[in-house]
Amino acid sequence: MSHTIKIQDISDVTHDVKRIRLEKPAGYSFTPGQATEVSVDRDGWRDEKRPFTFTCLSSDPYLEFIIKIYPDHDGVTEQIGQLSVGDSFIIDEPWGTIEYKNEGVFLAGGAGVTPFIAILRDLHNKGKIGNNKLIFSNKTEQDIILKDEFQRMLGSQFINVITREKPSGDHIFLDDEIDKEFLKSQIEDFSQAFYVCGPDEFNDKMMEALKQLGADPDALVFEE
C-alpha cells in the first residue's frame, strides 16, 4: 500500500544534506533502522522509487528522512532538492534493513550513517546507549551529519574520522580510508556486534577487515 504525504518542513543539515519532515499516515509504524521506498509526486517521477531510512522514531507525530542531495545527477535526489513545503512524497510500507541486536560498534561512511540515526535516538531516549560506539568517516568536517546530536548522545563513544583535510578539534585525521589497523587501534573487543553502512566499497572493506580481526560473521550487521 502506498501513501501520498505532504512535506511539512525542509531544513539544511549540512551543505548537501537535507532534513525533510512529512505528514504521518494514520496507523503507520516502523522499527528503528527500517526504510521505505520513496518517490516524488511529480509527473515523470512517481515510478522512480528509491529506498530511504526513517530517521525519526515511530512515536513521533511526523515522518522524517535525512537525505544527501546530488544536484549534478539528473535523478531522484536532484528532484528532492527542488521540493518545497507543501509538495508531496509517495511512500510504501516500511521494510527491514539494519536491526539493532546487541551493544556494539556502528561503522558509518558518509550518508551511510542514516540507518543508525533512529536506532541511536531510540537507545538514547530509553537510557540504553550503554557501551555502543559510533565510528563515523567523512571526507571533510562540513560533511558530518548531526555531529552535535551524536556528541550529546554518545560523548566519547562518538569517533569522528576525516580523510580529506586536516580537521580541527577532536577529530581523527587519516591520510586514507579506515582500515584494519585503525579498527584495531580503536576497538578492544571483536566479539561484540558490528553495524556497517556506507558506500559499497566501504562496506566490503569494513566487513573483510572485521572478519580478519576475529569478528563473528553472525554478529556483523550491514545494509544490503
Q: Does 81 fall in a domain?
A: yes
> Does one domain contain both 56 and 130?
no
Distance CA 197, CA 115 (A): 8
- Using the 3D structure, point to which of 91, 115, 141 is the last residue of a domain: 91
Q: CATH number of the domain at 18, please.
A: 2.40.30.10
Residues 140-147, mean pLDDT to the nearest whole number: 93
How many other β-carbons are positioned within 10 Å of the β-carbon of residue 106?
26
In a domain, 98, yes or no: no
**pLDDT value, residue 86:** 97
Please give the C-alpha separations between residue 38 and each of 3, 4, 171, 211, in angstroms, as whole numbers.
10, 10, 34, 34
Provide the grid cell at 37. Answer: 521506498
CATH number, position 186: 3.40.50.80
Q: Is residue 96 part of a domain?
A: no
Span 169-220, pLDDT tens digits: 665 666 567 889 999 999 999 999 999 999 999 999 999 999 999 998 888 8
In a domain, 99, yes or no: no
Question: Looking at the structure, do residues 108 and 196 belong to the same domain, yes or no?
Answer: yes
- Give the count of alpha carbons within 13 A of 120, CB side only: 27
Predicted pLDDT of residue 223: 66
pLDDT single digits (tens) 59-87:
999 999 999 998 777 789 999 999 999 99
- What integer pLDDT is reported at residue 175 of this predicted model? 59
How many residues are recorded in the chain? Answer: 224
Is residue 224 over pLDDT 80? no
The reply to whether 112 and 83 lie within a common domain is no
- The predicted structure's pLDDT at residue 178: 87
Residues 98-136 have pLDDT tens digits of 899 999 999 999 999 999 999 999 999 999 999 999 999
Tell whether pTM > 0.85.
yes
**What pLDDT does 218 receive?**
82
Domain range holding 22? 3-91
59: nearest Cα among 32, 91, 92, 99: 32
The predicted-structure confidence for 2-53, as pLDDT tens digits, reads as follows 999 999 999 999 999 999 999 999 999 999 999 999 999 999 999 999 999 9
- The pLDDT value recorded for residue 48 is 95
Instruction: Mark out the alpha helices in 102-146 (DSSP H runs).
Output: 114-125
Backbone φ and ψ of 156, nearest 5°: -70, -10
Give the per-residue pLDDT at 120: 98
Residues 61 and 141 in one domain: no
Q: Domain total for the chain?
A: 2
Instruction: Output the pLDDT for position 172.
Output: 64
